[in-house]
Amino acid sequence: MSDVVAIKDQVEAAVRAALSQVLPAELAGTDPVVRRSDRADFQANGTLAVAKKAARSPRDIGADVAGRLTGLTAEVSGPGFLNITVPDDVVWSAVAARLADTRLGLTTPSTGERVVVDYSAPNVAKEMHVGHLRSSVIGDALVRVLEHLGADVTRQNHIGDWGTQFGMLIQYLDEHPDVSWKGRGAETMSALDGLYKAARAEFEADPAFADRSRARVVALQAGDAATLDVWRDLVAESEKAFEVIYDRLGILLDGDDFDGESRYNDALPGIVEELLRTGIATESDGAVVTFTDGVTGPEGEPVPLIVRKKDGGFGYAATDLATIRLRVDHYQADRILYVVDARQALHFRMVFDTARRAGWLPDTVQTEHVPFGTVLGTDGRPFKTRSGKTVRLADLLDDAEAAIRTVLEAKEHDFADAELDDVVHAAGIAAIKYADLSNTRTKDYVFDVEQMVATTGNTGVYLQYAHARVRSILRKARTEATPGDSVDATLPAHPTEKALALTLDAFEAALRDVADTLEPHRLCGYLYDVATAFTRFYDACPVRKADDDTVRANRLALCDLTGQTLATGLDLLGIRAPERM
């Protein structure tokens, strides 16, 4: 493993150092604000903001800084920013250094950071819906990126595996011993979902059944063996079904990651007791609640967080408080992420606030709700099937795969059936995941299969094509004479070569940006930039037919690094990059 210092970081350090020499001591360390630029390789405009404080003209400071930058060409421009050009050999050397490293020269800035990511969290005996899809896809991308940057990540799938609804379902199953629901893989969930609905209908229609269901809840909570057995079956079968979906979607979550609500049962009475004892919670109308400063309803009335309900049952809030304690004390988390839809923002705000005040959440630990918007249908309304049911994940994937199969089959190809199936699967998942990840996380987005499988524009399938195109160039080049794979750093770089190389050099910055903001669309945007920069380069610079072997070798190196960057980036989004498309 050999870390490479990104060129932008080198430029930034150089300008920062020069700026410190030029400015009065108290302004040392001023951010030089270095950005990529159209007019040169980089632009630094930190001179503008600091000029006033230094009581000098920005142009004057700029000229002074430019004079001190060694190894870079810098010119003062406009009101006083700097246009900075990096020598070609620095650029080629970076390409070579990244290629020589299996990690493409990326550093691991998050080493030592412990992160717990709570994501997916579907409910036992219920079909996963598109909201769970979003949580799964976003959470998984975050897990992958954070891990790639060196963090020690614990995945937790906080499934809804406890609650009074189980009384009803177990009672129903008991009274209908003939219904079959087990061992049907992903179909188990549809069967259970149907049973759940039938049980609810009966519960509402038949007061006697409702009473027997309530008695079942008591039996479940009291640990009645027969009741617990059925409950365990329900959980186990649901987990199996979830795993089938995760496997199909290429989501990392597996059997070890389940961290259901039931795990926290025993901790709940203690949570309530301690909150009451410390005066953080109060009793209100028989319930135990906490309040958070500034959280008020439409009439300005304080909104309670219900920790224990009037009937003595514990709510979702109590369980989430318990998750924090375990994640802090046992997992020693530095950062805890909850990838849950935006409608639960208030819940998390109040839970985090309560935990802080209770002393369960030290200042050194950061809890973050990672909210996301709603998936909409093409009619702009929350996504439902035509009959108004929630859409099944498996069906979405089937639709995407069917659409991409049509696209692929319309093109000329020489795929054997098995390879075509594999590519269809990879592209179907790319279509769905990328559509989700490439949108600003907090915004709603429209689920539009035709748009998702488009082979042009900012789609996952387009990036897979871009990757496959690069791989094809490399394959062909390698069968030809003297492939040559060593970079000659003394060669001049064509502007499109340089632009591509500098884009590739910014990979780590893009990943860090995702780790900081928890917004995977930034990585999507970056990979799209890479693909675009590659296309410009490839349009301007012949690769296999380059006039000169050294030029050809340098260009092949650029292709290689592009291909590897795209493949790694897609992998961090949970998307495969097939060799051929």
Q: Which is nearer to ligand ARG, 74 or 340 (CB)?
A: 340
- Which string of DSSP letters, residue by residue, matches 212-262? HHHHHHHHHHTT-HHHHHHHHHHHHHHHHHHHHHHHHHT----GGGB--GG
Q: Which is nearer to ligand ARG, 133 or 575 (CB)?
A: 133
Question: 126, 391 in Cβ contact below 8 A?
Answer: no
The DSSP letter of residue 391 is P
CA distance 41 to 38: 7
Neighbouring C-beta atoms of residue 184, cutoff 10 Å: 16
Q: Which is nearer to ligand ARG, 290 or 323 (CB)?
A: 323
Q: Which is nearer to ligand ARG, 390 or 568 (CB)?
A: 390
CA distance 111 to 147: 9
Ramachandran area for residue 285 (φ above 0: left; ψ -120 to 50: alpha; else beta): left
CB of 320 to ligand ARG, least distance (A): 5
Q: Which is nearer to ligand ARG, 116 or 466 (CB)?
A: 116
Per-residue HEC secondary structure of 273-319 comes to HHHHHCCCCEEECCEEEEEEEEEECCCCCEEEEEEECCCCCECHHHH
Which three-class secondary structure state does DSSP give residue 36? strand
Among 138, 102, 212, CA closest to 568: 102
CB of 296 to ligand ARG, least distance (A): 23
CB of 348 to ligand ARG, least distance (A): 8
Q: Which is nearer to ligand ARG, 287 or 321 (CB)?
A: 321
CB of 68 to ligand ARG, least distance (A): 53
**E strands present in 314-408:** 335-338, 366-369, 375-376
CB of 150 to ligand ARG, least distance (A): 25
CB of 193 to ligand ARG, least distance (A): 13
Count of residues making up the chain: 581
The DSSP letter of residue 267 is G
Q: What sections of 23-129 are H helices per DSSP? A: 46-54, 58-68, 88-99
Neighbouring C-beta atoms of residue 293, cutoff 10 Å: 8
In terms of Cβ atoms closer than 10 Å to its own Cβ (0-12, 13-18, 19+), residue 221 is middle
CB of 255 to ligand ARG, least distance (A): 18
Q: Please report, as a single letter, which amino acid is at residue 21.
A: Q
Exposure string for 279-291, b = 16+ CB within 10 A, e = fewer: ebbeeeeebbbbb
Q: Which is nearer to ligand ARG, 129 or 216 (CB)?
A: 129
Q: Which is nearer to ligand ARG, 44 or 340 (CB)?
A: 340
CB of 262 to ligand ARG, least distance (A): 12
Q: Which is nearer to ligand ARG, 237 or 261 (CB)?
A: 261
Farthest-apart Cα atoms in the chain, separation: 88
The DSSP letter of residue 71 is S
CB of 338 to ligand ARG, least distance (A): 5
Among 326, 282, 324, 328, CA closest to 307: 282
∠ CA 509-514-515, rounded to 5°: 95
∠ CA 29-34-40, rounded to 5°: 140
Question: 213, 203 in Cβ contact below 8 A?
Answer: yes
Q: Which is nearer to ligand ARG, 272 or 420 (CB)?
A: 272
CB of 165 to ligand ARG, least distance (A): 12
The token duo for 532 is 């675009």
Binding site for ligand ARG (CB under 6 A): 118, 121, 123, 158, 160, 320, 323, 338, 340
Q: Which is nearer to ligand ARG, 125 or 489 (CB)?
A: 125
Q: Which is nearer to ligand ARG, 246 or 338 (CB)?
A: 338
The token duo for 511 is 């990943």
Q: Which is nearer to ligand ARG, 123 or 565 (CB)?
A: 123
CB of 441 to ligand ARG, least distance (A): 16
Residues 6+ apart with CB under 8 A from 312: none
Among 254, 235, 248, CA closest to 186: 248
Q: Which is nearer to ligand ARG, 118 or 497 (CB)?
A: 118
